[in-house]
Amino acid sequence: MINRVNDLSPIHLFNIILESLDVPAFICELDHDLRPGPCLALNQAASRWLGFAPAECAALLEGVVSLSLPDLVADLKQDGRATLDLETTNPQGQAQSLDLGCRLLRVHDHRYLFCRPDGETDAKGEWHQPGLSSRILKGLREGVAVSDGQGRVLATNPALARLLGLEPGGGGQEHLEQLLSRFSGVDYAGQVLPVLEDQGFWRGAARNPLGPFPGTLYQISLASLKEDGGGATHHVALFSEQAWDLSTQDQLLHLAHFDPLTGLPNRSLFGERLVSAMAHARRRGLGLAVLFLDLDNFKTINDSLGHSLGDELLKAVARRLQECVRAEDTVARLGGDEFLLLLQDIGNATAAAMAGRRVLNSLAEPFMIERHELFVSVSVGITLFPHDGEDTETLIKNADMAMYRAKDEGKRGLHLYSPALNNEVNRRLLMENNLRKGLTRGEFEVYYQPKVRLNDGQVTGMEALIRWHQPEVGMISPVEFIPLAEESGLILPIGEWVLREACHFTKALHDAGQPDLSVAVNLSTRQLLWQFDLVDMLEATLAESELPPQNLELEVTESVIMRNLEASIATMRRIRELGIRISLDDFGTGYSSLFYLKKLPIDTIKIDRAFVRDLPHNREDVAIIQGIISMARSLNLEVVAEGVETREQLDFLRQSHCHLMQGFLFSQPLPGPAFTGLLERGDRL
């Protein structure tokens, strides 16, 4: 008998059994080491004896049980039984004690600790009484149906007949499917069965439009009884009227499916949702993704700042995670600092990586907890259904493995499972992870390349160009990592950092006696089109560095502007209203319509290196350059030639009345101190 009760896995059913006992009894979760975890169910007798509300009792019992470690664990390991002295103080302040006998219950691969009084009031005898279960079933207000492993109904209890409006005694139903079809919206084949087969139980709520009280809402639980290692021999279905207030049972149900700290679904509910999401995805030929998240530095925070702050942080992380997924997705807490995400309708690795990035980016913002500013770093492993697994265990296990790879790769990053398919994506993700770290580890540096006035050879300003010294690889070109930074959204912090560096550097040069120097900073697509606080950020950086706005120039390429002409123009206008100048970078390589030049709120054109390279021999390039320069001059725009490498190119540009040049002929981009040196020496063209 006890084995059967064990098999009625859902806590809901545990609870019914507990309620049938007249003595205080409760059930706690055990982890794989048999260490007790949360109290999942307790009966009213226990709650009465303890003298508190059920939720408080659960916390209290958890505390008492954890106090008796490690004896309890050792005894359970030895013979599956242990004793426990329950010593508490009731709300009136009176001490009370109860000797409990505890035993280990195994349900599927979960383990539970069942505790009830020892000695005279021992309930053990009762459990073994034959016929108890049928007495319980008869007396229950809940409807119960028992079927064989194929779903053919073998027996129903009187309450079920009552609530379905059937003749008492006669089930009259041939199959669970028919029974369930009486409730609106329950899809037995599509929803219920897949979960039941995978998880051993299913739970849902549905209305019964036909019974004696049409429209009543019922909570329905199904559990499979399995033979050791074999398939289901029976299914038990339980129908209970949905109570409108949060009854004890609901609270316990809630406990069984939700994480008490964060209120997120726990692993078991996540598993249920994943099974139905997989069934849904299979029917529609869609994919989905499972993300396994582990905070990298939670232990340090928890140990150094205390557990209550750690708890607050976990709650805040939970809220952020929920904000970055859609309503149909699921965020669950596995325990500790581990979370699971179920993202529906994700078709491929790229889409999954994008979703993963959203998570990383949203957690990258600092958390303010009790006046501490906390930075959380997280490692994320991703699996895709159906590619990386077709059942919950495999998907979660593989996502966990991928998460460990992300940790191996230096934490704070993403890793996709199934290396063969996603090698390229993973290579990019690795670089992206490194980018993210590079930012915090100070691996970036800004170089400055002088811009020189052609008529007098004077350095008038410089372009800020980012450099990345990656410890393992060496110097990586911005041509390689800027597109990735764009894609991952990291360009926003990177761009902001370059701007701040450049402004402070230039202000320092002003203060050192070069008050006319201007600095040019490159703006990327995402910054111009998607950074909604760009203008505010620019204004704040200018204020903080005290650099006059007219000494800052932003370089924007034509291709960026053409992505969304209207929006770009609007933002560029606002930037210019601050007094900042704008130049059109790489002119000639994109759309290059001279017509647009008139419309764009710009001050300068930078002619791309491609047109300068073959000067003055290539007749076409000569014509183009001359055309651009005369057009620009007539529009009152300043012209800069990029990539000037030879004396011949320089002479030609000078004759063509180009204003400024930038190129290796005069200087390569230089680190800050070298650039300062060049100015101090008074180098000229």
Residues that bind ligand C2E (CB under 6 A): 449, 465-466, 477-479, 482, 495, 498, 522, 524, 555, 585-586, 609, 642-645, 662-664, 669
Question: Cβ 606 to ligand C2E, closest distance in Å?
Answer: 7
CB of 541 to ligand C2E, least distance (A): 14
- With CB under 5 A as the contact rule, the residue among 409, 586, 621, 638 that binds Mg ion is 586
Choose from ligand C2E, Mg ion, none: what does 479 bind? Cβ within 5-8 Å by kind: ligand C2E
Read off the amino acid at residue 444: F
Which residue number, 157 or 522, has a Cβ lying nearer to Mg ion?
522
Instruction: Residue 294: name its binding partner from Mg ion, ligand C2E, none (Cβ under 5 to 8 Å by kind).
Output: none
Q: State the Cα–Cα distance between residues 313 and 307, nearest whole angstrom.
A: 10
Q: Which is nearer to Mg ion, 409 or 586 (CB)?
A: 586
For residue 410, CA distances in Å to 294, 432, 471 come to: 13, 12, 13
For residue 417, give the H/E element and its range: none
Report what 329 binds from ligand C2E, Mg ion, none; CB cut-off 5-8 Å by kind: none
The alpha carbons of the chain give a radius of gyration, in whole angstroms, of: 35
- Closest to ligand C2E by CB, 438 vs 643, is 643
Distance CA 302, CA 299 (A): 5
- Helix, strand and coil content of the chain, in percent to the nearest 5, comes to 45, 25, 30
Cβ at position 571, least distance to ligand C2E in Å: 15
User: Which one, 414 or 476, has the nearer CB to ligand C2E?
Assistant: 476
Q: How far is CA 265 from CA 117, 236, 274, 392, in A?
A: 32, 24, 12, 15
357 or 606, CB closer to Mg ion? 606
Q: Which of 177, 585, 621, 638 binds Mg ion (CB under 5 A)?
A: 585
Q: Which stretch binds Mg ion (CB under 5 A): 141-149, 433-441, 578-586, 675-683?
A: 578-586
Distance between CA atoms of 11 and 182, rounded to whole angstroms?
A: 25
Nearer to Mg ion, 142 or 555 (CB): 555
Least separation in angstroms between residue 663's CB and ligand C2E is 3
List the single partner that 45 binds among ligand C2E, Mg ion, none, CB under 5 to 8 Å by kind. Answer: none
Q: Considering only residues 518-537, where is the footprint of Mg ion by CB under 5 A?
A: 522
Closest approach, Cβ 553 to ligand C2E, in A, equals 12
Residue 383, helix vs strand vs coil? strand
Question: Which of the choices ligand C2E, Mg ion, none does residue 275 contact, using the CB cut-off of 5 to 8 A by kind?
Answer: none
Distance CA 156, CA 149 (A): 15
Query: Hey, which bits of 325-457 come out as E strands?
Result: 330-335, 338-343, 367-369, 372-374, 378-385, 413-416, 444-453
- Minimum CB separation of residue 477 from Mg ion in Å reads 14
Residue 311 interacts with, from Mg ion, ligand C2E, none (CB under 5-8 Å by kind)? none
Cα separations (Å) of 334 from 40, 265, 275?
16, 9, 17
Provide the β-strand partners of residue 556. Answer: 584
Partner whose footprint covers residue 664, from ligand C2E, Mg ion, none (CB < 5 to 8 Å by kind): ligand C2E
| Residue 324 to residues 1, 330, 432, Cα–Cα distance (Å) | 47, 11, 20
Name the residue nearer to ligand C2E (CB basis): 391 or 445.
445
List, in sequence order, every beta strand (DSSP E) within 227-362. 232-241, 288-295, 330-335, 338-343
Determine the interface stretch with Mg ion among 420-428, 508-516, 548-556, 671-679 (rule: CB under 5 A).
548-556
**CB 585 to ligand C2E: min, Å:** 5
Place of tokens 């800027």: 482
Q: Which of 60/498 has CB closer to Mg ion?
A: 498
Q: Which is nearer to ligand C2E, 276 or 527 (CB)?
A: 527
Show the site string, 549-568: x = touches Mg ion by CB under 5 A, - = not.
------x-------------
Contact 142, 249 (CB under 8 A): no
Relative orientation angle of helices 267-284 and 392-408, to the nearest 10 degrees? 110
For the bound state, the minimum distance from the C-beta of residue 642 to Mg ion, rounded and expressed in Å, comes to 5
Nearest to 356 by CA among 414, 426, 400: 414
Stretch that binds Mg ion, among 133-141, 362-370, 434-442, 584-592 (CB under 5 A): 584-592
Beta bridge mates, 96: 88
Compute the least distance from the CB of residue 582 to ligand C2E, in Å: 13
Q: What distance in Å separates the CA atoms of residue 601 and residue 584, rounded to the nearest whole number?
A: 10
Structure tokens at 530: 């998607």
Q: Which is nearer to ligand C2E, 124 or 684 (CB)?
A: 684
* Beta-bridge partners for 84: 100
The residues binding Mg ion (CB under 5 A) are: 522, 555, 585-586
